[in-house]
Chain A
Amino acid sequence: MTTMLPAVATEGMRSEERIPLSAFQQGRAAFLADRMAVAGLAILVLAVLASIFAPWLTSYDPNIGDTDAYLVPPFSPGHIFGTDNQGRDILARILYGGQLVFPEAVIPVVVASILGMALGLIGGFFRGVFGEIVMRTLDVLFAIPMVLLAIAIAATLGSGPPTVIVSMAVVITPYVARVVATTTAQLRNAPFVDAARCAGFSRWKILRREILPHVIPAVVVYGTTNMGAMIVFAAGFGFLGLGAQPPTADWGAMIAGGMKSLASAPWISTVPGIVIVIVAVAFNYVGDGLRVALDPRLRTRR
């Protein structure tokens, strides 16, 4: 008997009577039980669909303003979010801007996940001289503030969405690689991996059967949890003028565009910011839900 409280509270609990579910079913049940995660997922699905079907949802052109409707405040008939200083409908710009912001956030994460997983496995699983070089290189990249490095790369390559994607992918990759390297380094000496080694499994078979099933969920959770930050990051490029060039709608550039009329028309900057916060918070809750759903230990601990 220990003196620790949770142990007192949980010991003696058994689940013998329960019907065993498959890992997927258990994970899905755990995710669906998390109301915030489900709500977050619903918001994200709606937001993505709304930006894909933007031409059907709004009749306004996001880039050409109405000369009769400068600086219309929000909640006005015809312009629920108001218009900006060129008479462009803010809702339309938000919807079309999503077509840019979502890929700008998702593609770097996907690319970095694949690259980072490869590098992390080299550093954490295969090791050797090459692995050592990889790990030391990653250490160096951590020593440069991530945002500054990304901005510097983008500034050097010249602005535009492809630049944003490349520079974000470059700076996120080390972070994914570190997650993968620490996970595999822990797994490497786990009893079940030793057992597989003793059973004479090849390195590739151990990698595929024993390591990857643990690494992939970790990468997925890491990517999803940080996707919110990536939306904010992508908006940052737009804000600095490194993203899509005017007049193309971009959430970050919209905030920058409203700076000049902050005193007279605060909504121009405020509305896109609120949208970014909602999307980022939704990603966070989905990431938390996935973390619990994919990690059996966390599932029982809750």
Chain B
Amino acid sequence: MNAMPDPVKAQAAKAPPLLEVKNLSVRFSSPAGEVRAVEDVSFNIGRGESVGIVGESGSGKTVTCMSMMWLLPSPPARYPTGTIRFKGKELDRHREREMQKVRGSGIGMVFQNSRLSFNPGYRIGSQVNETLRVHLGKEWKKELPRVIEMLRYCNISEPERVLRSYPHEVSGGVAQRVSIALALLIKPELLIADEPTTALDLLSQLEVLRLLERVRKETSCSLVLVSHDLAVVRRVADRVIIMYAGRVVEEGPTADIFADPKHPYTQGLLASTAQKEEGERLYELPGHPPDLAALPQGCSFRPRCVHAFAKCLTMPELLPAGPERVARCHLLDAGREAAHHG
């Protein structure tokens, strides 16, 4: 690591981060009991930073990123604890009008299946215009040339034709790039992309990934990329947050985490996606993610963990695991103690 004082980082330390998530918990009711979808999650997103959130289905990553702009209707979602600060100002989820201003213009969002995130009953162009109208008021027509420009920027070759089309008439890849263009059009300071490549074919995946990389390099917009695919995150994110059963289990700079994962779950994830070599069997994590309505005692990963020991019956805290790194595992504590004694 570079020990020289970085002027950008020094400034970032003084100013509040772009987005602060603090002690966020999200719950749903189900017949089987209370589902703890997200449990006491805290993290920051810096200005211009690109953060990846990784986890399996049910790890709470989608619920977390939707809660970053209080998107989930409540009920059914319940928020026992949690504050979100955007540019130092707390977002009040009960103030619908204020949230409407932040949504779209401050924080933009791209969903997993963009064809489904456009209303099938209206042409794409009219949905783009609607968004412009809502955020720019009477001035919106002046921005129309910029729409075409932005679509071209997002590699849409025939923007006029796409705008005239209904969502079902364009491919998933085109729809995804249009929705990225639409999100960028209002110049948000943070773009959240929830599994933006998962529903796409390989070629479209690459195109969308290239576009996200380009956005990261060429704009000042911060990026949150949610994915279960480590390869995707590795390509785009500066920093990675690993989630398991609704909690953050590890967090740190992308390169460091991929080089030396600290949490047994991260280790398992990396091993299962590692390049398969001749004759070597692909590693697979044993077991299933836990039932969020009936979490195991102590560490949620304990039933699947090969290193589990007696102490794991209590929930571990997030412990320091290197420069700018934390992980939620008793092994770190035990390791530190062992190192101390040795």
**A interface with B by C-beta (< 8 Å):** 1-3, 5, 8-15, 302
- Is B11 part of the binding interface, using a Cβ–Cβ cutoff of 8 Å? no
User: Contacts of B111 on A, CB cut-off 8 Å?
Assistant: 3
Minimal beta-carbon separation of B148 from chain A (angstroms): 28
- Is B39 part of the binding interface, using a Cβ–Cβ cutoff of 8 Å? no
**B interface with A by C-beta (< 8 Å):** 28-32, 35, 37, 57-58, 61-63, 66, 72-73, 76-77, 111-113, 116-117, 194-195, 228, 288-293
A1 adjacent to B112 (CB under 8 Å): yes
Nearest A-chain residue to B37, judged by Cβ: A8
Minimal beta-carbon separation of B201 from chain A (angstroms): 19
User: Contacts of A1 on B, CB cut-off 8 Å?
Assistant: 57-58, 61-62, 112, 195, 228
User: Contacts of A14 on B, CB cut-off 8 Å?
Assistant: 288, 291
Minimal beta-carbon separation of A292 from chain B (angstroms): 13
B195 adjacent to A5 (CB under 8 Å): no
Given A1-B58, A1-B228, residue A8 in contact with residue B28 (CB < 8 A): yes
Q: Which of A3, A5, A12 contacts B289 (CB 8 A)?
A: A12
Report the bound CA distance from A3 to B110 in whole Å: 11
Minimal beta-carbon separation of B160 from chain A (angstroms): 29
A5 adjacent to B30 (CB under 8 Å): no
Given A1-B112, A3-B112, residue A9 in contact with residue B28 (CB < 8 A): yes
User: Contacts of B31 on A, CB cut-off 8 Å?
Assistant: 302
Report the bound CA distance from A83 to B28 in whole Å: 56
Report the bound CA distance from A13 to B116 in whole Å: 26
Q: Which of A2, A12, A13, A15 contacts B112 (CB 8 A)?
A: A2
A12 adjacent to B58 (CB under 8 Å): yes
Report the bound CA distance from A115 to B62 in whole Å: 52
Minimal beta-carbon separation of A293 from chain B (angstroms): 16
Question: Which of A8, A10, A13: most chain B CB closer than 10 A?
Answer: A8
Given A1-B62, A9-B29, A12-B290, list of 20 further CB < 8 A pairs?
A1-B57, A1-B195, A1-B228, A3-B111, A3-B113, A3-B194, A5-B73, A5-B76, A5-B77, A8-B28, A9-B30, A9-B35, A9-B37, A12-B35, A12-B289, A12-B292, A13-B30, A13-B35, A14-B291, A15-B32
